Every structure is written in C-alpha cells, then in structure tokens.
Amino acid sequence: MSIWWSLHLRREAASVPLARRLLLGTMETAGVDPDISFDLSVALSEACANAVEHGGGGEIPDDAEAYHVTAYLDGDRCRIEVTDSGPGFPPATVARRRPSLAEHGRGLHLIAELADHVRFRNRPGRGAVVSFDKMLKWRDDALLKVS
C-alpha cells in the first residue's frame, strides 16, 4: 500500500495545523499506530513552523511566501519532506546527521529525535529541505495494514 500527498502552503502560522491535521487524518485512515502518528505530526509541525519563520527571502520571488509539504506512506515507512525558498541551513547543520542544540533551537533537534532518519539539505539559491523517515506500526484493526 502506498499513499502520498503534497501541499503548497502560504508561509502563515495557520498553515501549520492544516498540514498536521491532514497527516493525522491520513494516518488514522490508513490504520497507523497513534503513537507513531503523534510523533510524525509533532515533527511535521516543527518543520512547517521552521519554514514559516525562516523559509522566505530566497531568490525565487513567486515562492518566497510559500513552502511545500510532501508525505509518502509506502509499505512500512513514512517519509515527509518540507521544502522552503529561504536562505537555507548553515553548513554545520547540513553536514551533521543530528543538529546540536548549541547551534539551533529545539525544533530541528526534536525532528531528529522523533524520526528514525533525518536529513537537512540546501538547494542553492532555492531554499532548504527537511526530510525525515519513520518506520510505521499498525493498529490491529488497520484496513490498509502491510502484511
């Protein structure tokens, strides 16, 4: 089973709970364990809040006030990507697997703690991308459970 969706959102605080609710609804419908769904929704909220706060001012004027969220549920794994058009991450963040709290706020650190794998990367002149994966667990009554 595979499910994916993509959102193009304005860099406004109201967009963060919208993305979170869509993810939670998708996970609930698919039958993902609520604890896994919660972890992913918190990580997504942090990534979206980061894009809202820091994701503008890039070299692409039409995208300066927007960011993108894509979620993939594929088999027993979920991957989420949040892409913005801001100045990107500092080189030290991109080089490390896990961000240091000394260098950044709690948001990036929390994403890294809640996900099984996280990657912070820059698209030169086009913004930053946060992508993270988590292995899924399924409720016993899941209709779309992976066998």
What pLDDT, on the 0 to 100 scale, is given for residue 62?
56
Q: What is the pLDDT of residue 108?
A: 87
Calpha distance 86→93 (Å, rounded): 15
Evaluate whether residue 7 is within a structural domain: yes
Residue tagged 């991450």 (tokens) = 89
DSSP 80-97: EEEE--SS---HHHHH-S
Would 76 be classed as within a structural domain? yes
> What pLDDT score was predicted for residue 13?
95
pLDDT, residue 25, reads 95
Give the count of domains, the chain: 1
- The answer to whether residue 141 is domain-embedded is no
pLDDT at 113 (0 to 100): 93
H-helix or E-strand spanning residue 134: strand 127-135
Structural domain includes residue 140? no
Domain with 35 in it: 1-133
Q: What is the pLDDT of residue 8?
A: 96
Q: Mean pLDDT of successive 10-residue segments in the chain (147 residues)?
A: 91 96 95 96 96 75 79 94 88 65 70 94 88 95 72
138 falls within a domain:
no
12 assigned to some structural domain: yes
pLDDT at 32: 95
Largest CA distance in the chain: 48
CATH of the domain at 105: 3.30.565.10
Q: Which residue has the tokens 């027993």?
A: 76
The secondary element (H helix, E strand) that includes residue 50 is: helix 34-54
Give the residues across from 118 on adjacent strands: 132
The pLDDT value given to residue 126: 84
pLDDT at 142: 84
Any domain includes 107: yes
Report if residue 142 sits inside a domain: no
